[in-house]
């Protein structure tokens, strides 16, 4: 039986381990931290529970698919469909609750922003058709093996090229469709789901809005951490071994083939290595004497984030599970993120509150606030000052919008910032998704899920194809398993 070493236990690593174990391989996962899940983990601060990383859950069918793969019932992973996608607060005082569902969203855009119901619905249908056309040839297939994407679906995908908006930016597409700048701003926000700027990323990435608006988000019972906990348990049941607190220092290779890994504790021989680590650090830290794909690795990095975890002594009926407090000048905020890499004085703030549905996540009469602001990557800024001023801006903006002194309600507090994202989660310069998608074809120009120069080396996670976010990380694992199965002629 062949040995597999998976480096990192993020969602892509866990899903890869599960799929490869199901193929009959002997899988071991090596994790530098003392917990599994990567960014999808939790922390208790006193009586408050916080999901530390990703907070938006879409496409639960991908988790159900993994349960079916190992003959588990779908009920082993429970989740709630949320009736609304997000609540939006604008600088002029307007407050809008955007529901889930195509008809409901079209109605809201009409009543709140004066948009045409028919035109809004036509736009959402276009996104749905784009997503369905691209899914089999771009999202769940390797772009780097012709027989993966050269299937019947390719003709449908090619036929829709005029509708993708690849030749213009996301923002330009949205401004063309909607007359109210607020409507476009809502849609532009989706670029942040892969750490990019809506003023530079292609209109193609509007397909993210299909998941947000047409299908709507869900919430795992027990919080986002239940995703990694579920995958971890499934891996254990398939015999996957986990080595926590054991950092990989080198991927060993000979004659252009993987022969093992070296960790802080052992040499581990294996025929297959799957790196769930940031692809940049995989090359820079783990591979000796191997040619780097410099053109891919030198692309612009995605944005990072500053997150405050606040236990709030109070409840706010105005807030839901997902909340956005918009900057007035959205474009200037993205210029600060990507051009000058400086702090923007009036940042857009995202507030995630799981205790709205998971009552045990905060004491009675209190709430657990995950307060996030997009941040530039670490290029040597004074982060202590950056964080302090960002905290001050967040408190002032939230206090004004909610008409209450928020700082006086903060019961407990923790912090995440680009320095920690790099040190704990191994995102180069604190980038969350590896490369950004700030150019016309960058979405199609991510690192492959396999090495073209080293047999037996594969890549999963948000920094490689097909991209950022939990659904895409899960699909990266599906692609890895398919490539391994082909390369080693394994039966299902």
Cβ(215)–Cβ(80) below 8 Å? no
What's the number of CA atoms in the CB half-sphere (13 Å) around residue 138? Answer: 20
What is the pLDDT, as a whole number, of residue 144? Answer: 85
The CATH number, out of the four listed (3.10.180.10, 3.40.50.300, 3.50.50.60, 2.60.40.10), of the domain defined by the range 3-40+223-299+434-487: 3.50.50.60
Residue of 445 and 281 predicted with greater confidence: 281
Domain boundaries, given as residue ranges, for the chain: 3-40+223-299+434-487, 101-213
pTM reported for the whole predicted model:
0.96
pLDDT tens readout for residues 149-158: 777 678 888 8
Dist CA 193 CA 433 (whole Å): 9
Dist CA 92 CA 113 (whole Å): 13
pLDDT tens readout for residues 24-52: 999 999 999 999 999 999 999 999 999 99
What is the pLDDT, as a whole number, of residue 155? Answer: 81
What's the number of CA atoms in the CB half-sphere (13 Å) around residue 310? Answer: 22
The helix (run of H) or strand (run of E) holding residue 149 is helix 146-149
Q: Residue 388 CB: number of other CB atoms within 10 A? A: 11
Dist CA 467 CA 484 (whole Å): 20
pLDDT tens readout for residues 314-365: 999 999 999 999 999 999 999 999 999 999 999 999 999 999 999 999 999 9
Dist CA 390 CA 384 (whole Å): 10
pLDDT tens readout for residues 185-229: 999 999 999 999 999 999 999 999 999 999 999 999 999 999 999
% residues pLDDT > 70 (the chain): 99
The helix (run of H) or strand (run of E) holding residue 18 is helix 11-22
What is the pLDDT, as a whole number, of residue 444? Answer: 74
């Amino acid at each position: 039986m062949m040995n597999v070493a998976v480096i990192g236990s993020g969602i892509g690593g866990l899903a890869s381990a599960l799929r490869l174990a199901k193929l009959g391989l002997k899988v071991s996962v090596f994790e530098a931290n003392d917990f599994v899940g990567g960014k999808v983990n939790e922390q208790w601060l006193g009586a408050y529970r916080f999901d530390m990383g990703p907070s938006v859950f879409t496409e639960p069918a991908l988790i159900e698919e993994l349960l079916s793969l190992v003959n588990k019932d779908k009920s082993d992973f429970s989740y709630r469909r949320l009736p609304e996608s997000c609540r939006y607060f604008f600088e002029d005082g307007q407050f809008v609750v955007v529901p889930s569902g195509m008809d409901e969203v079209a109605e809201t855009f009409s009543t709140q922003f004066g948009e045409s119901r028919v035109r809004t619905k036509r736009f959402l249908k276009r996104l749905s058709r784009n997503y369905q056309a691209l899914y089999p040839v771009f999202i769940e297939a390797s772009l780097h093996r012709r027989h993966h994407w050269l299937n019947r679906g390719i003709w449908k995908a090619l036929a829709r090229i005029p509708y993708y908006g690849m030749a213009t930016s996301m923002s330009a597409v949205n401004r063309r469709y909607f007359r109210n700048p607020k409507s476009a701003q809502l849609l532009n926000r989706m670029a942040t789901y892969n750490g990019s700027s809506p003023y530079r990323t292609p209109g193609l990435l509007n397909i993210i809005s299909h998941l947000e608006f047409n299908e709507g988000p869900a919430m795992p019972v027990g919080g986002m951490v239940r995703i990694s906990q579920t995958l971890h348990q499934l891996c254990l049941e398939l015999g996957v071994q986990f080595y926590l607190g054991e950092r990989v220092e080198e991927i060993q290779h000979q004659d252009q083939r993987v022969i093992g890994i070296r960790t802080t504790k052992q040499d581990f021989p294996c025929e297959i290595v799957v790196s769930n680590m940031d692809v940049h650090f995989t090359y820079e830290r783990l591979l000796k004497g191997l040619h780097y794909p410099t053109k891919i690795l030198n692309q612009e990095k995605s944005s990072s984030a500053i997150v405050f975890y606040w236990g709030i002594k109070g409840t706010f009926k105005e807030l839901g599970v997902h909340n956005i407090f918009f900057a007035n000048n959205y474009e200037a905020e993205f210029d600060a993120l990507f051009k000058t890499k400086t702090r923007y004085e009036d940042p857009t703030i995202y507030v995630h509150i799981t205790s709205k549905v998971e009552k045990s996540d905060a004491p009675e009469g209190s709430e657990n606030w995950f307060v996030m602001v997009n941040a530039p990557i670490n290029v040597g800024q004074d982060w202590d000052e950056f964080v302090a001023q960002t905290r001050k801006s967040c408190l002032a903006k939230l206090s004004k919008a909610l008409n209450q002194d928020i700082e006086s309600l903060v019961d407990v507090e923790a912090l995440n910032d680009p320095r920690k994202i790099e040190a704990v989660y191994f995102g180069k310069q604190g980038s969350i998704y590896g490369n950004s998608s700030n150019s016309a074809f960058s979405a199609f120009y991510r690192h492959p899920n396999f090495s073209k120069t080293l047999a037996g080396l594969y890549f999963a996670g948000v920094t490689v194809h097909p991209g950022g976010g939990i659904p895409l990380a899960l699909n990266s694992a599906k692609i890895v398993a398919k490539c391994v199965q082909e390369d080693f002629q394994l039966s299902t």
